[in-house]
Amino acid sequence: MALLEDGRTAECYIERRGQRSVVGHVWKGKVGNVLAGMEAAFIDVGLPKSGFLHVDEVVAMGVPKHKRQIADLLKKGDEVLVQATKDPMGTKGCRLTMQLSLAGRYVVYVPFGDGLGVSRKLLDDERRRLRKICNALPLEGGLIVRTAAAGASADDIARDYAALRRLWSALSQRGAAVKSPTLLYSEADISLKVIRDLLNGDVEEVVVDDPEQYERILNFLKRTSPGVASKVRLYDGVRPMFEEYGAEKAVRSTLERRAPLPSGGYLVIDDTEAMTVIDVNSGGNVGRGATRLEDTITKTNLEAAVEVVRQLRLRDIGGIVIIDFIDMSDAANRRAVKAVLDVELEKDRTRTSVAEISSLGLVEMTRQNISDGPREVMTTQCDTCDAVGIVLSDDTVAIDAGRALIRAATTIDADVIDVAVSARAADLLNDDGRARVVEIEEMVGKRIQLEIDRSLGDSDVRVRSSAGSAGA
């Protein structure tokens, strides 16, 4: 899925068959270990890894929040209804909550909640109108009115709410009947989720390249909001749809470390275990003289502030993000860059929080992450370097292989030794007329015959001499 703004890909989401997001799924789970120290419990929901439930996510009617202790509320073996709020990522299992919320097209129903909330992104008049409509509904539990409800009629909203109530009733009945762990409700897959959550008045058109998905989307809209069904179109082009709209290129660009800026500078984006680091580079794009320099730097930083947010959204980067802007001496310029960053972040649907620019020019921020971004979905760790990003240099490989040869030659009792090495090590050892091998042959007083074994690592050798084989 790609979301285009002004013809440019702003967000992209990839879901692979068999690797669907579990965010929004509801299970009847079983409490595993309760960690009093962490105020959390592990819940078995039937996924490979247990989910994580923090005490703040436990529904406990009548117990004030600050008095809640996990050990008082849950014990091993208890059965609980839980919903995923975050996918399993890296080594961590999914994040769970007992505060279930069922999303419809216009409203989100919170069975264990209370009160009525209306999206702050809606205009005041519209919020008042929607509030009035919802207050006329037979409310039980909590209800949140979504941004997509702008312009929706009282009937639309009543229908949406009734469908969610029916869903909840079916879900809770089934929950009472089954054993844990059992999946009770699967969140809509990516195509319906996108339609449900993103198709608002601002969207001009939805183009779908799969006839089956197209039909599903139409059926969903006819049921929930027939008025917008005409915005959906089946793609009939010959070129792959993502290429036609430039989305393919944008998706691929998320694999690159560098992201260019309009005036010749660029960002370097590095993912680390703990955070994402974004470095702003002028790319040699600097004017002359001290003021010109400060001006050019500020210009690059302003462009970077825009591009950083674009990249955060496009790559769906989550967690801690550190941005290293180029040092600016003028405090007013630092404020200007920060202001642009703040304005751009308004476009981001995902929750972010930004600290001030530090004296070193660093901006610390966090961005919520719920699922893996396109990068994580499309890639796997590099085998050659174990995702470290570096491999041994030629010199190191040559020296290591030479040492291994010496070790092998001195432990084997034969005049001629057959030694297998990696292709790269063989190239390096044979370089310069076998200089390194000749040196070793003279040192050990034996003849060495090299052969290539592609299964070997660069620092490995395998001895294959007629006098019996021995590993080295």
Q: Which residues, listed in sequence order, are joined to residue 118 by a DSSP beta bridge?
A: 145
CB closer to Zn ion, 291 vs 384: 384
Q: Which stretch binds Zn ion (CB under 5 A): 15-23, 182-190, 376-384, 402-410?
A: 376-384
Print the binding letters for residues 97-136 with Zn ion: x by CB under 5 A, - otherwise: ----------------------------------------
355 near Zn ion, judged by CB under 5 A = no
CA-to-CA distance for 44 and 42, rounded, in angstroms?
7
**Interacting span for Zn ion (CB under 5 A) from 65-73, 211-219, 384-392, 464-472:** 384-392
Work out how close the CB of 291 gets to Zn ion at its nearest, in angstroms, rounded to a whole number.
Answer: 44
Interacting residue with Zn ion among 63, 382, 416, 438 (CB under 5 A): 382
Q: Which is nearer to Zn ion, 215 or 270 (CB)?
A: 270
**Distance of closest approach, residue 385 Cβ to Zn ion, in angstroms:** 3
Q: Which stretch binds Zn ion (CB under 5 A): 247-255, 267-275, 308-316, 374-382?
A: 374-382
Distance in angstroms between the alpha carbons of the first and the last residue of the chain: 52
Distance in Å, CB of 452 to Zn ion, minimum: 21
Residue 385 or 470 having the CB closest to Zn ion: 385
Q: How far apart are CA 188 and CA 51, in angstroms?
A: 20
Our CB check for Zn ion shows the closer of 180 and 422 to be 422
Smallest distance from the beta carbon of 271 to Zn ion, in angstroms?
Answer: 14
Q: Is 255 in the site for Zn ion (CB under 5 A)?
A: no
Verify binding: residue 384, Zn ion, rule CB under 5 A.
Answer: yes
Piece of the chain touching Zn ion by CB under 5 A; list 81-89, 167-175, 383-391, 407-415: 383-391
Is 208 in a helix, a strand, or coil?
Answer: strand
On the 0-12 / 13-18 / 19+ scale of CB atoms within 10 A, 190 is: middle
Q: How far is the CB of 381 from Zn ion (least distance, A)?
A: 8
Alpha carbons 323 and 369: distance in angstroms, whole number = 17
Q: For Zn ion, which stretch binds (CB under 5 A), given 175-183, 304-312, 366-374, 377-385?
A: 377-385
Asked if 385 interacts with Zn ion (CB under 5 A), we say yes
C-alpha closest to that of 374 among 9, 3, 13 = 13
Q: Of 274 and 390, which has the nearer Cβ to Zn ion? A: 390
Q: Which stretch binds Zn ion (CB under 5 A): 103-111, 315-323, 336-344, 381-389?
A: 381-389
Using CB under 5 A, count the residues that bind Zn ion: 3
Please list, in sequence order, all residues whose beta carbon lies within 8 angstroms of the beta carbon of residue 317, skipping any fewer than 6 positions away.
Answer: 269, 271, 276, 311, 367, 369, 373
Distance in Å, CB of 382 to Zn ion, minimum:
3
Structure tokens that stand for 253 in this block: 């660009």
Name the one range near Zn ion by CB under 5 A: 107-115, 223-231, 346-354, 382-390: 382-390
Q: Which is nearer to Zn ion, 158 or 268 (CB)?
A: 268
Other CB atoms within 10 A of residue 23 CB: 16
Half-sphere exposure in the Cβ direction for 13 (13 Å, CA): 17
Q: Which long-range contacts (CB under 8 A, 24 or more apart) does 405-411 make?
A: 405/429, 405/437, 405/440, 405/448, 405/461, 406/440, 406/443, 406/444, 407/472, 408/461, 408/463, 408/470, 408/472, 409/440, 409/444, 409/446, 409/448, 410/444, 411/470, 411/472
Nearest CA to 52 out of 93, 85, 100, 99 is that of 93
Nearest distance from C-beta of residue 257 to Zn ion, angstroms? 13
- Phi, psi of 58, rounded to the nearest 5 degrees: -90, 135
- For Zn ion, which is the closer residue by CB, 355 or 385? 385
> Among all chains, which residue has been given the structure tokens 């009617």?
61
Could you tell me whether strands 416-421 and 461-463 are parallel, antiparallel, or unpaired per DSSP bridges? Answer: antiparallel
Closest CA to 100 of 29, 36, 42, 156: 29
Contacts with Zn ion by CB under 5 A lie at 382, 384-385
